[in-house]
A and B are shown apart, each in its own frame.
Chain A
């Protein structure tokens, strides 16, 4: 869930960033375009202004000429007013033109030439005026000056016209540019608007989608919070948070309940919490909490609290630091559980265990003593039967001899039972020392032990090489003897028994029938025979003490052998399983841990 939110947040951020960037770029672009448009309008306006100023200069000069002619005709000095103000006006216009055409070198040069011409023109007018004042109106010099003046005026007109033409050329270009800009403006504005609309829609859909996800997640969070509250109440545990940077605590409602208080009934801080801690545990808890603040870690901490009604409860606390991936803030998340019942159960269990151990010891010693002490009277019975057979057999009737034979058989069986029982009780003692043992020697010893039976039944035993294993040697030898002996005993009549012993190393996870294995690998030793077999439904029962599948008259035995096998394997923390089919044989699988 967190990953989805983080991903969604990242996508939102990227979308927002890109949208912002595009909008700003488009805004900048539109702004530049509008500026360009305004500039092009300004340039057109500027061109007109230059033309007007040039026309103005001509107008001033014409006024000067007209004024001068008026004076020449009337000799009235009032006519000279435009002539006297002509220079100043022309200077003002030149100042304006100089500023207006400062970026146009062609016009600047033209202005200089025009200035020179006007200067000449004004000087000529001055001279004409001087000659007029000197009454030389009909002199040759005067006429020449008039002609020169006209010539200069024509040059001025031509120059002004040239400059206006230049401005008109510029005007044409600038108008073209401004028209282009003007025609592009609606397209650009529409494009910007459409793009912004698209971005707005995209952002809206994205936010809407995220909002839905957020709502859904919020709902989930509510459910999770409620189920956590319920879980805390049912399981008697609570949570708390320590904000390291703010040195602040937050307690869950159930922590208050565990302390025997109403939820959020006091301010969640250490001072208030310590009031509930058992006086004997306060120092220990304070020490651990101080350590937690330094190391931001709290290993399992056990302590007691005293509720206001005097009830003592046992608490177990654990905490772990959590660093936020968002802003790197650190928080210590803690869990406190009420383990009073567990502590009480544990104490009870300990007592029961001790009692059980005591009882087991007593039972084992009883078994041993009982079976050992039973041998002594049985030995006497068998001795006296033997004497009866040897010395009094002649005086016994036929029936007496039959009864004696039955007593003898019963005693022998009794002896066998006691021997097996003694062996079983010895097997119970698991404190025997483990040693790295050559299993092949153990197997050979077992075969030696059963040599007579093997020879009698003409049994064939084949075995894989078994590696060295850490076992209790004499128990393993007993295990091999019992399993091989069992296969020979329950062989088919008139069919020599064939026993195959195979070895392999197996992984615990690969063998499903191994319940709660403590080790990862096991030695697997399988005993397969071609005997009479058994119904698979009895596969479990055959390991039960004194349990027999066949009549004791048909097959001899006490029903203890396979129980001893199971006991030995369990002493080694191993497993033993049996599989069988009537008249096809039996398979015994022994799993010993690979340590």
Chain B
């Protein structure tokens, strides 16, 4: 079944994600990203970030594995087409961020193999004061169901 516009605006429950040092280290190591901004306190303090931060794609790892998506999707039809991060404040080790997934947009396009749908899912991350820290925006191509 195709999705319809009524899914726009649906949200998941909010969950709290704690940014842990070991997790950030494992993430940077997997990529092979040895930037001292993630590990060297003195270096990071002198930088534009004024302290240690996390790798720019780390927000993708900020799922607790339990949160229920705001809508039902067939994973076999999903293709992660594009990813965007909008950064408002630095993410720091020890942060407890309040995260929520929202359906930002849904639109159709005619493709070679029939109608394709495009879904934009935002994960918004806010600090304890409720201020926006980061948005992780996933653009998903939702292919037509095979009959």
Chains A and B belong together in one complex: no
Residues of A within 8 A of B (CB): none
